[in-house]
Amino acid sequence: MKTIHSIIVLLLCLMAYQPKAQEAVTEAVAMAALQGFFDALSVEHHPNPRMNDWITHDFLIFEMGTSFNWARFQDFLDEAGYGAWTSTKWRFSEVRVSPTEYAAHISYVNTGEFVYPDPDDPEQSLIERNIWLESAYLVREEGRLKLKFLQSDNISREVEVLPQD
């Protein structure tokens, strides 16, 4: 009798259990994840120990004709002297978001502006303006939407000396 009672209690507990509902993937949720990634990537947060909050464990970025996992992309940033940069800003336009139940695809134009020391004259700063066509694929991992893949094609790049004050 005790066994039957235990089984009934167990069945009632299992029937009452409701898994935590996940936030629906919407355009707003997808854009917040994309913006979070770029905020985390900004030089103001470099190096960012919480980047894994924004990217999947198998994240890939295709940039400048090269495929990078996150570790290789960090090396690329370090080789570019990213830690010494003064400012990084990104602005998205022409955004198209295609959400599904568990993922989202976003395509957009990314306009970036970077300020960094001139490699030939560290006392002088350069300002670089880029325009990229980008495509991002985001999936659920660890209960949140994260970037799994980012394709970035640079379509315009201008570098000029930043006037000194």
For position 118, which CATH number holds?
A: 3.10.450.50
Q: Is the pLDDT of residue 17 over 80?
A: no
In a domain, 17, yes or no: no
Number of Cβ within 10 Å of residue 79's Cβ equals 8
| Range of the structural domain that residue 156 is part of | 23-161
Which ranges of 45-104 does DSSP label H, i.e. alpha helix? 70-79
In a domain, 67, yes or no: yes
- What is residue 1's predicted lDDT score, i.e. its pLDDT? 60
What's the predicted TM-score (pTM) here? Answer: 0.83
Q: Specify the length of the chain in residues.
A: 165
Q: pLDDT averaged over the chain?
A: 89
In a domain, 6, yes or no: no
Domain count, the chain: 1
In a domain, 101, yes or no: yes
